Amino acid sequence: MKAKTQRSKKKHSRLRLIFSIFLLLLFISVLSFTVYIGTAFQTEFPSRWYDPEFLPTSPSFYVYRFEDRVGRLGERVEVTGEIYAQKQTQYHQYDNIPTSMIDAFVAIEDKRFFEHEGVDWYRTIAAGANYLLGFSDSFGASTITQQLVKNLTGNDDVTVKRKIQEILYALDLERNLDKKKIMELYLNVIHFSDNCDGIGMAAEHYFSKSPMELTVAECATIAAITNSPSYYNPIRNPENNLKRRDLILSQMYEQGFITQTEYTEAKSTPLALDVDESVGREGINSWYTDMVIEDVVQDLMNKYSMSRAAATHLFYTGGLQIDIAMDEEIQALVEDYYKTALELPKNGSGESAQSAIILIDAKTGDILGVAGAAGEKKGNLLQSFATKTLRSPGSTIKPLSVYAPAIEEGIIDWATVYDDVPIEFHTNSSLTWPKNATGVYRGLTNISYAVAHSTNTVSIKVLERLGLERSFLYAKERFHLSNMIHQSGKTDCDVAALGLGQLNYGVTLREITNAYTAFADGGVYHACRSYYRVLDKEGTILLSRADSSERILSRETAAIMTKLLEGVITHGTSSTITLQRVCECAGKTGTTNKDHDRWFIGYTPDVVCGVWCGYEYPEPIEGRNVC
């Protein structure tokens, strides 16, 4: 009996030990998870993404009318007119939203909306189990509060981490806002296809009514769109919308939001739209504004770890004040000329070639004017051949990758002589390499002539002495040609890329024009900018682009390069330019393989200008005296 008692005590002792270890492990797990949540996630929803008194406000743009741009002496003036076509926004407070609209969304999206505290744990656990077990490829189960978080942040990645962050944000929103405000915000920011954001624009666009005038059936029609705005668009896909509308009506009836009579009447109502095409239609921004939007959105994403959708939402509705670097007169001249007066060649199919231009202040990096394409601009945030398109730069890269580095390193000077003959000879003359554009080899040739006439053989021979690695580092690191690559299998650290401009991806007109500021300003590179700063509606600075300059060449090298590049205009490949009769100017032409792209980067002591010409889908440009 005594032995049995002892065994029982030992058994209980082991059980207590096991239980204690279990509790300890549970405590450690909970503590570890809590620490992980606290370090890997944010528990407070960023205030910059919502405002309890939110009213969508378009951005304002300001320019400085400088007496002295370098000294920053000038008057700050708000820009009005054609630079920015305000995106339409409407905001309707909770009391001005029909009850049927709120009921429709609650019935189909989140039937426990007014009961939970931001997260419907029943649906979340079920959806999480299905996701982890592979029964579903999405986590799902988002409440209206969680959907509001997703709309405000723009983050809709299909990951567990994103879902956890969304849950934490939703819980915080519910602690700070009441249900009416959350529903109000949600219905004013959600997308309804056809460039309509919010129920106000949706009601006017699809039914030519204010929200309070909508019937039960019309509320359900609008609520149906949000699940998949394109698929359920009632104009383009009325059958799809009608099926989902009727599903919403049935849910409204089953959950007691409408009576049997109301349900029967609404369901029997045909889908009768009264479309107002003017709602949601945007005006056309200037090319400069498109560039500013892209730059500001990208910088907001980088600085605040925002998604593109969230940064874009803040840009259009946050009442931002943006100080831009534009010169009003220059931009007006550029826009007008590129819209109406620029004559470009056409191919055999009658398609016109394209062109782009950008002008940068040589001493500050301010972008003074830009046109991203020729002809009338017919939309916003279109493909800009000035800022977005990557093309091989041809010979415009030679001063950056070959001649300036070789002068800086003491390898050549103004009068250094090279033999203008091919490096590789073949019995088949078509394989002889490299070829000069003229098809002629001159023999002994000095650097001055080689730069002025873009002699390929000389640039290759200078490059060989300079070395590929040094050349590549000058082009990418000093002159900031950021899209150049150097990796196994694909590299721009080779003779054709650095000596002839045949890059894998190419450069934008903006970045290669920017590189030439170092020649124009005595060896100092000025990082270009389209804006100086961005303030929120309270006047707090969100973004700032201060003058960013660095000496990348000696004054002597910059002076020699400028003298060499003056020869391009006075007696070289660009001797037809008449600006030389008015002021001192220098520059470099560039033509890529098979004549697909033509470039000119030119500068005076004050302004650097870059021009590109070519077809949208590369093909040879016919005629030498065009572009």
Element (H, E) at 4: helix 2-40
Residues β-bridged to residue 419:
444
Structure tokens at 432: 């002889």
Residue 462 sits at the vertex; the CA angle it makes with 518 and 460, to the nearest 5 degrees, is 105
CA–CA gap between residue 119 and residue 456 (Å, rounded): 67
Three-state DSSP at 77 gives: strand
Residue 227: HSE in the Cβ half-sphere, 13 Å Cα cutoff: 22
Which residues does 22 contact at the CB level (< 8 Å), separation at least 6?
none
- Beta strands 321-324 and 60-68 are parallel
CA–CA gap between residue 530 and residue 528 (Å, rounded): 7
Segment 589-618 shows an average pLDDT of: 94
Across all residues in the chain, what is the average pLDDT? Answer: 88
At 313 the pLDDT is 77
Among candidate residues 189, 127, 128, the one with its CA nearest the CA of residue 154: 189
| Total H helices, total E strands in the chain | 22, 16
Structure confidence by residue, pLDDT tens digits, 315-366: 888 889 999 999 999 999 999 999 988 889 898 888 999 999 999 999 999 9
Structure confidence by residue, pLDDT tens digits, 114-138: 999 988 887 777 766 665 555 555 5
Peptide bond into 270 cis (omega under 30): no
What are the DSSP E strand ranges found in 120-208? Answer: none
For tokens 């931001």, what's the residue? Answer: 118
Segment 284-297 shows an average pLDDT of: 95
Using left for φ > 0, alpha for ψ between -120 and 50, and beta otherwise, residue 573 falls in alpha
608 neighbors 565 (Cβ within 8 angstroms)? no
Structure confidence by residue, pLDDT tens digits, 142-191: 899 999 988 887 776 767 777 888 889 889 999 999 999 999 999 988 88
Segment 420-430 shows an average pLDDT of: 76
Give the type of residue at 39: T
Structure tokens at 173: 């929103």
What's the pLDDT band for 111 if we cut at 50, 70, 90?
very high
Residue 408's alpha-carbon distances to 227, 466, 563, in angstroms, are 61, 10, 15
Q: How many CB atoms lie within 10 A of CB 604?
A: 16
- Round to the nearest angstrom and report the end-to-end CA distance of the chain: 109
Q: How many CB atoms lie within 10 A of CB 267?
A: 16
- pLDDT tops 60 at residue 2: no
Segment 94-102 shows an average pLDDT of: 96
198 neighbors 88 (Cβ within 8 angstroms)? no
Structure tokens at 420: 């203008």
Note the pTM of the prediction, 2 decimals: 0.81
What's the pLDDT band for 9 if we cut at 50, 70, 90?
low
Peptide bond into 238 cis (omega under 30): no
Element (H, E) at 469: helix 468-473
Helix axes 287-304, 328-336, angle to 10 degrees: 120
Give the type of residue at 283: G
What DSSP state is assigned to residue 191? B
Among candidate residues 445, 473, 463, the one with its CA nearest the CA of residue 402: 463
CA–CA gap between residue 307 and residue 536 (Å, rounded): 18
Element (H, E) at 330: helix 328-336
Question: Which of 95-109, 349-363, 410-424, 568-582 is the least confident region?
Answer: 568-582
Using left for φ > 0, alpha for ψ between -120 and 50, and beta otherwise, residue 197 falls in beta
Residue 75 sits at the vertex; the CA angle it makes with 372 and 543, to the nearest 5 degrees, is 60
At 462 the pLDDT is 97
- pLDDT tops 90 at residue 467: yes
- pLDDT tops 80 at residue 309: no
Structure confidence by residue, pLDDT tens digits, 535-566: 998 899 999 998 889 999 999 999 999 999 99
Q: What is the CA radius of gyration of the chain?
A: 32
What DSSP state is assigned to residue 374? S
Residue 406 or 581, more confident: 406
- pLDDT tops 60 at residue 38: no
Structure tokens at 356: 């782009």
Neighbour order of strands in the sheet with 73-78: 73-78, 60-68, 321-324, 531-535, 541-544
Structure tokens at 272: 């009768």
What DSSP state is assigned to residue 293? H
- pLDDT tops 60 at residue 624: no
Three-state DSSP at 61 gives: strand
Residue 77's alpha-carbon distances to 57, 322, 361, 401, 458, in angstroms, are 19, 11, 20, 41, 51
At 430 the pLDDT is 67
Give the type of residue at 456: N
Structure confidence by residue, pLDDT tens digits, 143-157: 999 999 888 877 767
Structure confidence by residue, pLDDT tens digits, 46-86: 776 666 566 678 899 999 999 999 988 999 999 976 677 76
Structure tokens at 374: 């020729």
At 165 the pLDDT is 86
525 neighbors 550 (Cβ within 8 angstroms)? yes
To the nearest 10°, report the CA torsion of 592, 593, 595, 597.
-30
- pLDDT tops 60 at residue 627: no
